[in-house]
Structure 1
Amino acid sequence: MQTIQAINYSIHFNESCYNYLNEILQPNVYSKLFILVDENTSSYCLPNFIAQIATEVEIEIIELEAGEEFKNIETCVQVWQSLIELGGDRKSIIINLGGGVVTDLGGFVACTFKRGIDFVNVPTTLLSMVDASVGGKNGVDLGHLKNQIGVIKEPKAVLIDTQFLETLPQSEMLSGLAEMMKHGLISDKSYWDKFKNLNNLKSEDLDGLIYESVLIKNKIVSEDLTENGIRKALNFGHTLGHAIESYCLENTSKQNLLHGHAVAIGMILESYISKEKGLITNDEYQEIKYFINEYFEKVNFDENDINEIIDLMIFDKKNEFGKVQFALLKGIGNIQINETSSNELIFKAFEDYNL
């Protein structure tokens, strides 16, 4: 797979990742290399990653507890303190080796430490490969509210080694699949159509699907880095999806949902809203609902759940002037941004989802 050029950085794949990394890790350029991992990537990914690095730059490992609940400022403080104690300076570089929590938080730590040091994202989950690590968004949650604190700043590079996917459980693979489906729905109908025949795809086809997904996201981000226009398209499924994810995180009576699972539900709900607003046909909606439900287990929401989820949407970072903003489908493969919806229509979307 050829290297993809983003606005101010490059995205490398598989064997070219380590060629690139070993070229830049020179002692006259970087004083120290910090590798940020969580408990999972420390065990399953770090040994193979370290074996590929050939550098004279001193290496230090910083390990986080695994889980979305640790993607917060308190964890950042711990990492900043570790960087100080281990001799980090403005010529240090951080490699974020992990899923979306590690790349989001690690990027934010790097952007703010000593007013900004270089960082490289090495995503190890399907979700982080096709979404979280690409595009320059870095940040943390505020309580259970997703991604409320952060900055937009590109990494020095993103290195995608698909061999890391062999360490993932099925649930994590599905979580990434949701974002890939989203890329097809908002931008490329022929790409979406490939997911309708996913059971017929061979494992070696996955690299090609990942590459296409990264191309779609990079193209959109390159047109609108700071999310003032078309980049909002990437939020399809996320206005309701983030609220659902936050609601499940803060309620002990609800099972926590992986990000992709919550977004998959959000895409069905927001497709229903798109249909009711006349932006897609009923056939298109039924197609989307059917194929997403084929892969993602349904979750039941009662009236109280729905009311609380609607209340949480007011904190969505896309909102402007107190109005909840949606990115809705305008046919499969197209998007319409800055749309609104009544609470009554949202309730109807949940009712239809619950059927």
Structure 2
Amino acid sequence: MQPIKTSGYTIYFNDDCYGYLQEVLTYEKYSGIFILADTNTSQYCLPNFLAQVPTELPIEIIEIEAGEINKSIETCIEVWHALTDLGADRKSLIINVGGGVVTDLGGFAASTFKRGMDFINAPTSLLAMVDASVGGKTGVDLGVLKNQIGVINNPVAVLIDTQFLETLPQPEMRSGLAEMLKHGLIADKKYWDNFSDLTGLTTDDLGVLIHWSVEIKNSIVEQDPNEKGLRKVLNFGHTMGHAIESHFLNSATPLLHGEAIAAGMVLESYFSMIKGFIGREEYETIKSVLLSIFGTNDFTSEDIESIMALLVHDKKNEAGKVQFVLLESIGNAVINQEVENALIINGFEDYQK
């Protein structure tokens, strides 16, 4: 697969990842290399990755606990302390090997330690490959509130080795599909149509779809790197989805990011239909595809009340008003749409039918 060039860095795939690493470690003369991983990727991904890192420089491993609950400023402080204790400086390099928690938190830690050091993202989950590691967003959660603290800062490069997906549990693979489906819904109907039937999907097919998904996201980000307008379309499903994810984060049954976003996309597609942007047939198609992959979550009236209260913290809000991304059609989205509380409640009722 051909590398994808952005205005600030390049995204490499599979074998090209390690050719690039050899080049950058030879010519950049970094003072030290630090690899951030979580307890899962440290066990399942890091050995293979380290075997292909061509350098005689000592490599220090910093390990954090896995899970969204650890995407916090407290964990970031621990990383900063580890970097300090291990002698990192501004000429050091951090390589973030992991899913979205690792790439988001690691990118933020690197962007702020000593006012900024280079970092490379090596995403190991499907979700991180097609979303979290691309676009320069870094940051941590504030309690249960998603991605409230952070900066937009590009990595030196992104290294997508799809072999890491062989280590991924099935629920995590399914979680990543949500962002890929979103890319089709907001920007490319032909891409969406490729997901109407996943029964014959091969590993090679998935590799092609990952590359295609990254191209879609990169094209949007390149036109609006600081999310002043067009880039907001990438938040389709996320206004409701992040509130749902936040609500269940500390519960006995937390949802994976993709599971929450899938529910959010069904709800926001319903809002799109009721507001007259899409027809009922398009809505029913979207709902059918998403629920066939992710199933239906049960929401009590107390859950819905809590989720609606969390909407006020969404990052897209302006002047205290919740701003939604809705669909004009499959493949086209519209930003900055308000949705009445009564419509949100009706959306949950329709979702659970």
TM-score per shorter chain, which class? over 0.9
Q: Does 1:140 align with 2:140?
A: yes
Residue 104 of structure 2 aligns to which amino acid in structure 1? Answer: D
For residues 307-318 of structure 1, what are the structure 2 equivalents within 5 Å?
A: 307-318=305-316
Gaps of 5+ in 2: none
Aligned CA distance change for structure 1 residues 164 and 28 (closer, same or farther; 3 Å):
closer
Task: Report the aligned-residue RMSD.
Answer: 0.8
CA deviations on 1:206-236 (whole Å, 9 max, x unpaired) are: 1000000000000000000100000000000
Aligned to 2:58: 58
Please say if 1:126 is aligned against 2:111.
no
Counterpart secondary structure, 1:287: helix
Return the offset for 1:201: 2.3
The structural deviation recorded for 1:297 is: 2.3
The alignment status of 1:295 with 2:293, answered yes or no, reads yes
Correspondence for 2:331: 333
Contact 1:275 1:285 in 2 (8 A): yes
User: 1:326 offset after TM fit, Å?
Assistant: 0.5
Residue number in structure 2 paired with 1:159: 159
Q: Residues of 1 paired with 2:7 and 2:334: CA distance?
A: 24
1:27 positional shift: 7.6
Listed one character per residue, the Cα deviations across residues 161-190 of structure 1 (whole Å, up to 9, x for unaligned) are 000000001100000000000000000001
Displacement after TM superposition at 1:21 (Å): 0.7
Match of 1:182 in 2: 182
Deviations 1:232-254 (A, max 9, x none): 000000000000000001344xx
Q: Could you tell me how far 1:316 is from its partner in structure 2?
A: 0.5
Return the TM-score normalized by structure 2: 0.99
Deviation, 1:325, is: 0.5
Q: Which residue of 2 aligns with 1:350?
A: 348
How far the C-alpha of 1:304 sits from its partner, in A, is 1.5
Instruction: Report matched runs for 1:7-26 at 5 Å.
Output: 7-26=7-26
Structure 1 position 270, deviation (Å): 0.2
CA gap of 1:260–1:28, structure 2 versus 1, over 3 A, is closer
CA distance in 2, matches of 1:74, 1:119: 20
Does 1:260 pair with 2:258? yes
Determine if the alignment matches structure 1 residue 43 to structure 2 residue 59.
no
Structure 1 contact 184–333 (Cα < 8 Å) conserved: yes
Identity percentage over the alignment?
62
Tell me by how many angstroms 1:197 deviates. Answer: 1.7
What is aligned with 1:322? 320
Q: Give the match for residue 196 of structure 1.
A: 196
Q: Supply the distance in 2 between the matched residues of 1:90 and 1:58 (Cα, whole angstroms).
A: 16
How far off its partner does 1:303 sit?
1.5
Tell me the amino acid that sits aligned with residue 17 of structure 2: C
Structure 1 match to 2:34: 34
| Aligned residues of 1:26 and 1:56 also touching (Cα < 8 A) | no
Cα pair 1:110 1:119 within 8 Å, conserved: yes
* Counterpart residue number, 1:171: 171
1:94-128, Cα deviation, whole Å (9 max, x unpaired): 00000000000000000000100000000000000
Q: Does the CA-based 8 Å contact 1:27-1:57 persist in structure 2?
A: no
Distance 2:318 2:21 in 1: 40
Residue 229 of structure 2 corresponds to which residue in structure 1?
Answer: 229
Query: Take 1:106 and 1:27, find their aligned partners in 2: how far apart are those partners?
Result: 23
Distance 1:289 1:272 in 2: 9
Query: How many matched pairs?
Result: 353
Residue 28 of structure 1, CA deviation:
6.0
